[in-house]
Amino acid sequence: MWELPNPFLNEQGEPVPKEDWEKQRRYLRKILTEDFYGELPPSPGNVQAEKEFEKELWGGTALFEVYDLSFGPEESVHEKTAVIRPKEGTAKPIVFCGGYVDEEIAKMAVSRGFLIATPLTDDAAPDEPNFEKGTLHQAYPEYSFRAIAMWGWLLSRVMDFLEMTDFISTKEFTVAGHSRYGKAALACAVYEERASVVIAAGSGCGGMGSLRAWGSRFGSETGAVETLGSMLKDNFPHWFLPALQAYGADEPSAHARENELRFDANFIGSVIAPRPLLILEGLDDTWANPYGTVASWSAVSEVYRFLGAEKDCAIHFREGGHALNLSDWKVLLDFAESRLAGEDTPGDWHTLQKTDAPIARSWSAPMSAEEYAADDQDRAAMRARFLKSLENRWAFGEAGLETGMVKYLKKLLKEQ
């Protein structure tokens, strides 16, 4: 079985110490730029906003507004942005890539002190193979970024706009998206440090779904899963750099040359670390690669553990398919609220536990001698508890005789 690439190895193939992690982040981001997203232009520094529409909602407690953002060379790039916010006071900003938010969800978010800003990216970067006709490529033809990275870059321009207003309570932004827009939210966070909380739902291939490890909820290489080749060759050649097509198979749920890539989805999360990251998934969303997403999350969590932030890398699964529904949004808001408050409280999500087995990797974070000793003590305590459970559960008869299997397991554990 292929394994995910090790994010702890530097350009010379040597393990990085913790004090060099920022340099390692830049190296991993460089790989993603060269091999995956393409080169992005710098911030234009000239965002302008004109309000085009305003409507009061819910008895005058909230506002729905539409702004036309313009920026870039000669302000030639335009980006419509919808904002739903409390009418009075300030709110915590969520920059949501996706275009549409159900009214019940928006009402819940506003009632909890959030605003949602949603860009409409079709004019600037259309979701079409001929995306070059969009105003963003026309303004920056010398840059190689493609649709997913373009949408991520456009999310940053929404942040530029919101920072100019008086209705946000913090410049710590929550960036979120679902499906292809979940990929875009991740791409934004790779380059945008203002993305303080990052939430990707059903992002699949090109998002948090591993390119090497894939499968349904039932395990490795089960079910019909979108893979690199089926995404770029069959459906969306404009999303990522065209050279990637050579590494993917011509049909879904098949391997080709993905193991030759320098990166995988775990590099995306590794660059985002240690900022809070939440992955939302549906157990029946097989096309989005649930098995490979867990593999990526596990690998990314190892980076967060290395940085002392393992409680900030979380995953949430629910029954159901490819959607971002009301229950997902409740988890999204709970996570964003707690992390923006500087809390690492548990919620309806899972974070890395010592009992979690690694998936599709044999590597782990580099440890100092002291950390290794402490980890060894923890493992010894776990073995002792398990041995005790064997004695309590599997002893039988008045003499407390043990089965041959129990004796073998106890002997094996004591030798570890």
Q: In the numeric block, which tokens belong to residue 363?
A: 């590597």
Residues 129, 255 share a domain: yes
Q: Are residues 377 and 316 in the same domain?
A: no
Residue 367 has a pLDDT of: 79
| Distance of alpha carbon 145 from alpha carbon 26, whole angstroms | 18
Residue pair 313/273 in contact (Cβ under 8 Å)? The answer is: yes
Please report the pLDDT score of residue 99 as a whole number: 78
Q: Is 356 within the bounds of a domain?
A: no
**Are residues 240 and 101 both part of a single domain?**
yes
Confirm whether 359 is domain-assigned.
no
User: Are 389 and 295 in the same domain?
Assistant: no
Give a yes or no: residue 9 inside a domain.
no
Q: Is the pLDDT of residue 382 over 70?
A: no
Question: Average pLDDT of 235-250?
Answer: 95
Whose CA is closest to 215, among 224, 206, 202?
A: 224
The DSSP annotation for 323-352 comes to: ---HHHHHHHHHHHHHHHTT-----SSEE-
* pLDDT, tens only, 72-87: 999 999 999 999 999 9
Residues 211, 322, single domain; the answer is: yes
The alpha carbons of the chain give a radius of gyration, in whole angstroms, of 23
Q: Which of 200, 208, 195, 235 is nearest to 98 (CA)?
A: 200
Given a contact cutoff of 8 angstroms between Cβ atoms, the answer to whether 131 and 137 are in contact is yes
Beta strands (DSSP E) in 179-251 are 195-201, 215-216, 219-220
Write out pLDDT tens, residues 20-43.
Answer: 999 999 999 999 999 999 999 999
Mark whether 178 and 146 lie in a shared domain.
Answer: yes
Same domain assignment for residues 25 and 150 = yes
Please indicate, yes or no, whether residues 146 and 85 belong to a single structural domain of this protein.
yes
Q: Tens digit of pLDDT for each residue in 88-101?
A: 999 999 999 987 89
Residue 10 lies in a domain: no
Which range has the worst mean pLDDT, 52-56, 199-203, 347-351, 384-388? 384-388
Half-sphere exposure of 343 (CA within 13 A, CB side): 9
Greatest CA separation for the chain: 89
- Is residue 387 in some structural domain? yes
Give the other-Cβ count within 10 Å of 185's Cβ: 29
The pLDDT score that the predictor gives to residue 253 is: 82
Is residue 342 located within the same domain as residue 382?
Answer: no
Q: How many CB atoms lie within 10 A of CB 59?
A: 7
Q: Are residues 300 and 411 in the same domain?
A: no
- Torsion angle of C-alpha atoms 288, 289, 292, 297, degrees rounded to 10: 40
Cα gap 13→154, rounded to integer Å: 35
Element (H, E) at 115: strand 114-120
Q: What share of the chain has pLDDT > 90, as a percent?
A: 85
Residue 360 covered by a domain: no
Average pLDDT over residues 197-220: 97
Rounded Cα distance between 360 and 363, Å, is 9
For residue 190, tell me if it sits in a domain.
yes
Does residue 325 share a domain with residue 183? Answer: yes
Domain of 291, CATH number, reads 3.40.50.1820
Provide the residue type at 206 as one letter.
G
Kindly state whether residues 379 and 306 are assigned to the same domain: no
**Segment holding 377, helix H or strand E:** helix 369-394
CB 148 within 8 A of CB 240: yes
Task: For residues 158-166, give the mean pLDDT.
Answer: 98
pLDDT for the residue 250: 84
69's enclosing H/E stretch is strand 62-71
Distances (CA, A) of 243 to 15, 68, 152, 347, 382: 29, 35, 20, 41, 47
List of E strands, 248-404: 277-282, 313-318, 350-351
Report d(CA 186, CA 33) in Å as an integer: 13
CA geometry: angle at 207 spanning 123 and 78, to 5°?
15
Q: How many domains, the chain?
A: 2
Quick count: other Cβ atoms within 10 Å of Cβ 235?
12
Distance CA 374, CA 384 (A): 15
C-alpha span between 42 and 72 (Å, rounded): 10
> 265-272 vs 21-32: helix axis angle to the nearest 10?
140
The number of residues making up the chain comes to: 416
How would you class 264 by CB atoms within 10 Å of its CB: exposed for 0-12, middle for 13-18, buried for 19 or more? buried
Distance CA 288, CA 225 (A): 6
What span, in angstroms and rounded, lies between the C-alpha atoms of 284 and 254?
A: 19
Host domain of residue 374? 369-415
Contacts of 165 (CB under 8 A, 6+ apart): none
Q: 409 falls in which pLDDT band (50, 70, 90)?
A: low
- Does a structural domain hold residue 7? no
pLDDT grade for 377, boundaries at 50, 70 and 90 = low
